[in-house]
Structure 1
Amino acid sequence: MLDIGSAAARLDIVDLASPRMPRATWSVKSRTHLAEHTLADGRVTEEGFAEAERAVRRCVRAAADKPVEALIAYGTSAVRDASNGARLRKHLGRAAGVRIGVLTPRDEAAVAYHAARRWHGHDDEPMTTVDIGGGTVDVATGTGVDPRRVVTLPHGAARLTRQFLLDDPPTPRQLDELRRELAGTIPPALRRVRTGYPLALSKVLRQLAVLTESEPGAVARRPQRLRRDRLADWIPRLAELDHQQRAKLPGISRSRGKRILAGAIVAEVLLDSLDLPELEICPWGLRQGLVYRFLEARTRTRADALDLVGTLFD
């Protein structure tokens, strides 16, 4: 399974014969830098094309001697929402040797929710998932294996950084404009959402949890929750730093040093709007959800599994 995102391309070889949750038996990752090479109008630059293609080729070549049943390749919002995304998918498809699919924002949120339900268990208990990606923010709620309601907004951390936080570190005016935008869109969109057990799915939220749960001299490697009060304390500190300084903080990766501030502000607004004091960190998400979907179809026939890929992806 090849995942092409705003920061990296990642290829996992998954053992579908595992009696428990199918896990990657081999994995490789290569930086795409798509976020850095996407302009404010959503267009990926020619340099961005070249870097993303190289990343995909590195992953595919590294796996060339691995026996696989099928290669499923998909792009997340960085590929889907690019204004020249159709051309980008063609280039990446040639580099991968297979068609690059994309999920709609709603389908992406639903598949990630499905994975979170599998991880959390407790069928029929109300559950809410919160996912802050590069291009979108997704909130899904339900009581079964699939969500009953999905709210998806174009407020991903990378997109907001490009649109609002133009300086590094941003100016107070830029921060105010970002907060006004979020205050005018997120609370109304979530007004009718009835929350259940709250789970955080994205890398942005996991990295914020590491940051906010760490203490001087003791990094919280696997934090269990992201707490609203600790997040609120950190946002002014993040706003004073540039992206290189943020990337030196506990848990913050170099690829997310620039967007983590926007992600933190969005997370705070989401928690306030949903009236949640904290989110439990869920290690599963879209990738695991797609594996489960493929595996469920494969229990019928291999053709069913491959048909599912065509049905899921545009």
Structure 2
Amino acid sequence: MPAPTERIACIDVGTNTALLLVADLEPATGRIVTVDHRQTIVRLGQKVDEHRMIHPEALERLKACMTEYRKLCSELEVRRIIAAGTSALRDAANRDEIIGAVKGATGIEIRCISGDEEAVLTFFGAVAGLPEVPEPFTVIDIGGGSTEIIMGTVEQVASAVSMNIGSVRMTERFCTSIPPSAEEFEAAKKEIDRNLARSLPPFFAGRQQVFGVAGTLTTIAQVCMGDRHFDVAKVQGYQLEYSAVHQLLERLRAMTLDEIAALGIPEGRADVFTMGTLILRQFMRMLGVGTVTVSIQGLRYGMAQQELQRLRNRS
């Protein structure tokens, strides 16, 4: 007898944002049905690159966010909450204290996952439920603290790398002002290029079909479409061309924080948006990628896919 539908919540606790997916898992059909999804900018990685510690203010923002997510999960009758922490928690010497504080305040236990596990879950999550995905394909996830690049098929990962270049990390490390000086911009570009040059060779085989996930990619798509407000239906599957990314970056590198925010970039993302766009531009340039297909999915959907498989195996 097939297992019944189960409603779960998957939370991705990143360096800049905490993302919630509430979904119904259907083991009989293998479907993940989205019920709700939320995004909250908590900037958990505030100064983590410099101090290797989660700041007390960042912890309070995270607890407030998790409290809100817990309340929503109760309202939606979620049976199980799964939470994963990524780059900021990996880097923080006080991560066990943070995890304990969040569990004590909300009952939600965050599991700190490795960069390799994050990459694999993101890879399968990016294309979960999509029909006829060309193979091999590559997924890029530009986060606040790290960037993951993964290549393979819907059955298995062939190559994966997690690099310590992210929008928050690069901004905190190189930018003393917005816009950054020409020297700061070039220093950040050099560091990004150094990481990419070392990591990209295995991925040339999968550059014909590239998917981009996470907030940097979806926000770039929104801006390139000329929209001031995020529209999931328009962003999902959007074809982001290299020329559009390049033109956007050339504008951003001369814009003030207020000018960037006026594009429709939310508070908490506007100050790191230029560096996130720089990472994407350099990735596309160095790998020779003409177009990236934007996916609103990613780590959360990979977590849901993993849980769905567990339920199917149990039945």
TM-score over 0.5 for the pair: yes
**Counterparts of 1:62 and 1:149 in 2: how far apart (Å)?**
37
Match for residue 237 of structure 1? 251
- For residues 268-290 of structure 1, the C-alpha deviation after alignment (integer angstroms, 9 at most, x for no partner) is 11011211111111222111111
Match for residue 34 of structure 1? 44
Match for residue 4 of structure 2? none
SS state at 2:148 partner: strand
**Counterparts of 2:127 and 2:169 in 1: how far apart (Å)?**
28
Structural RMSD (CA): 2.6
SS state at 1:23 partner: strand
Mapped contact 2:46–2:54 kept (Cα < 8 A): no
Match for residue 3 of structure 2? none
**Counterparts of 1:28 and 1:190 in 2: how far apart (Å)?**
32
- For residues 216-255 of structure 1, the C-alpha deviation after alignment (integer angstroms, 9 at most, x for no partner) is 9xx99725122111211221321222333212214x2222
Change (3 A) 1:35 1:172: same
Equivalent residue runs for 1:261-300 within 5 Å: 261-300=274-313
Mapped contact 1:119–1:284 kept (Cα < 8 A): no
Amino acid at match of 2:35: T
1:15 is aligned, of 20, 24, 27, to 24
CA deviation after TM superposition for structure 1 residue 59, in Å: 2.0
CA deviation after TM superposition for structure 1 residue 27, in Å: 4.8
Match for residue 249 of structure 1? 263
CA deviation after TM superposition for structure 1 residue 200, in Å: 1.0
Structure 2 gap ranges (5+)? 1-8
SS state at 2:276 partner: helix
Equivalent residue runs for 1:199-214 within 5 Å: 199-214=211-226
Match for residue 181 of structure 1? 191
**Counterparts of 2:133 and 2:180 in 1: how far apart (Å)?**
44
1:128 is aligned, of 130, 135, 138, to 138
Mapped contact 1:247–1:257 kept (Cα < 8 A): yes
CA deviation after TM superposition for structure 1 residue 23, in Å: 2.5
SS state at 1:152 partner: strand
Q: % of aligned pairs identical?
A: 20
Match for residue 222 of structure 1? 234
Match for residue 272 of structure 2? 259
1:61 is aligned, of 49, 65, 71, to 71
- For residues 164-185 of structure 1, the C-alpha deviation after alignment (integer angstroms, 9 at most, x for no partner) is 1122221111111111112222
Amino acid at match of 2:54: V
**Counterparts of 2:100 and 2:256 in 1: how far apart (Å)?**
35
**Counterparts of 2:240 and 2:49 in 1: how far apart (Å)?**
31
Matched, 1:3 2:12: yes
Q: Which has the higher contact order (CA 8 A, sep 6+)?
A: 2
Amino acid at match of 1:204: T
Q: Greater strand percent: which structure?
A: 2
SS state at 1:289 partner: helix
Amino acid at match of 2:295: C
Match for residue 56 of structure 2? 46
SS state at 2:80 partner: coil
TM-score when scaled to structure 1? Answer: 0.85
Change (3 A) 1:175 1:98: same
CA deviation after TM superposition for structure 1 residue 108, in Å: 1.0
Mapped contact 1:89–1:100 kept (Cα < 8 A): yes
Equivalent residue runs for 1:81-96 within 5 Å: 81-96=91-106
- For residues 42-94 of structure 1, the C-alpha deviation after alignment (integer angstroms, 9 at most, x for no partner) is 32211112221122122213433543322212223233333422221221222
Change (3 A) 1:27 1:138: closer
**Counterparts of 2:227 and 2:146 in 1: how far apart (Å)?**
31
Match for residue 309 of structure 1? none
Amino acid at match of 2:50: A
**Counterparts of 2:310 and 2:283 in 1: how far apart (Å)?**
34
Matched, 1:97 2:107: yes
Amino acid at match of 1:116: A
**Counterparts of 1:38 and 1:198 in 2: how far apart (Å)?**
30
SS state at 1:131 partner: strand
SS state at 1:222 partner: helix
Residue correspondences, number: 299
